[in-house]
């Protein structure tokens, strides 16, 4: 299966980012901890040249804890400031302001030297769809923050969220679309649900999910479905289907229904904390 998805929003989103990048000191890039490589858009490195950079490994609750640490080390080694978070329950979000200070230390020092004292850091949140940008902004900014409205010199219509005296967020999250140079990237995006399921073959997808988990997380399938996982994937699917009552009138397996269950179990973490790629 070749997973590709090129929605027409891409050009618009890119232009929005290009238009605003000059106003920004810091780019906070949110990625999915289950696919910290495939959930990045390589264009961001070109767009964000000379800006301070933070990578937040979101949905870290769904990813393998040991892998989270390896990815954090990997991105730190590449020169990014990096932290794992769970935007849904807020874990790690409180550490973000400190990370912002570290990432923008030089900029703040330079401003001080020039006598610019009360200039807040301006940040833009970017990420591909569904990585948790809105959830993060809600957890981070909370209800207490105020929108400061249009400012002189700022592109008309753009609003800034005043987090505190030191930080403002551009309230339009930069939505980027992943590049699919590599088929495996498309497959992993489909696995975590970052692609429109309606364009996917869910039966193939469920097959690939089970295959990856069987090869990389032995015992996880057995634990979830209480079946012997030491058999071919198609037999595993049939057993799960029978156990879960995914049967058609003629007693044949209803693969469509079954695939939905498997995909959903994986995406919501019911098969355990699973990371799909390593640095």
Residue ranges in contact with ligand G4P by CB under 6 A: 58-59, 61-62, 86-88, 127, 129-135
**Shortest distance, position 159 Cβ to ligand G4P, whole Å:** 17
CA proximity to 96, closest of 107, 88, 87, 106: 87
Q: Which is nearer to ligand G4P, 14 or 88 (CB)?
A: 88
Max CA-CA distance within the chain? 79
Residue 42: phi and psi, rounded to 5, are -60, -25
**Shortest distance, position 111 Cβ to ligand G4P, whole Å:** 31
Q: Which is nearer to ligand G4P, 120 or 269 (CB)?
A: 269
**Shortest distance, position 213 Cβ to ligand G4P, whole Å:** 18
**Shortest distance, position 70 Cβ to ligand G4P, whole Å:** 19
Q: Which is nearer to ligand G4P, 89 or 150 (CB)?
A: 89
The DSSP call for residue 129 is T
Q: Which is nearer to ligand G4P, 97 or 269 (CB)?
A: 269
Q: Which is nearer to ligand G4P, 127 or 241 (CB)?
A: 127
The CB density around residue 272, as the number of other CB atoms within 10 Å, is 16
Report the alpha-carbon distance of residue 175 to residue 65 in Å, rounded: 27
Say how many CA atoms lie within 13 Å of 246 toward its Cβ.
17
**Shortest distance, position 72 Cβ to ligand G4P, whole Å:** 15
**Shortest distance, position 132 Cβ to ligand G4P, whole Å:** 3
Instruction: Using CB positions, name the residue nearest to ligand G4P.
Output: 132
Give CA torsion, residues 231, 2, 61, 132, to 10 deg: -160
Report the alpha-carbon distance of residue 233 to residue 239 in Å, rounded: 10
Q: Which is nearer to ligand G4P, 174 or 186 (CB)?
A: 174
The CB density around residue 6, as the number of other CB atoms within 10 Å, is 10
Q: Would you call 124 exposed, middle or buried from its count of C-beta atoms within 10 A (0-12, 13-18, 19+)?
A: buried
């Amino acid at each position: 299966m070749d997973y590709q998805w090129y929605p027409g929003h891409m050009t618009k989103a890119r232009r929005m980012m290009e238009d605003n990048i000059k106003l920004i000191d810091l780019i906070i890039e949110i990625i999915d901890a289950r696919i910290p490589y495939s959930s990045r858009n390589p264009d961001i490195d070109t767009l964000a040249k000379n800006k301070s950079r933070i990578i937040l490994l979101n949905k870290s609750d769904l990813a393998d804890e040991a892998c989270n640490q390896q990815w954090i080390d990997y991105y730190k080694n590449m020169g990014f400031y990096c932290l794992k978070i769970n935007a849904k329950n807020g874990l790690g979000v409180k550490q973000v302001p400190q990370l912002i200070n570290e990432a923008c230390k030089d900029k703040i020092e330079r401003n001080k030297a020039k006598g610019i004292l009360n200039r807040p850091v301006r940040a833009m949140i970017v990420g591909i769809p569904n990585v948790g940008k809105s959830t993060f902004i809600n957890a981070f900014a909370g209800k207490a923050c105020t929108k400061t409205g249009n400012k002189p010199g700022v592109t008309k219509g753009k609003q800034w969220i005043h987090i505190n005296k030191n930080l403002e967020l551009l309230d339009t999250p930069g939505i980027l679309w992943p590049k699919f140079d590599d088929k495996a990237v498309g497959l992993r995006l489909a696995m975590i649900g970052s692609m429109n399921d309606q364009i996917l073959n869910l039966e193939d997808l469920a097959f690939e999910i089970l295959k990856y988990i069987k090869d990389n997380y032995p015992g996880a399938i057995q634990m979830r479905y209480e079946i012997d996982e030491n058999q071919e994937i198609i037999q595993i699917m049939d057993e799960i289907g029978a156990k879960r009552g995914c049967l058609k009138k003629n007693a044949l397996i209803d693969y469509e229904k079954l695939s939905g269950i498997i995909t959903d179990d994986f995406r919501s973490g019911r098969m355990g904390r699973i990371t799909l790629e390593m640095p």
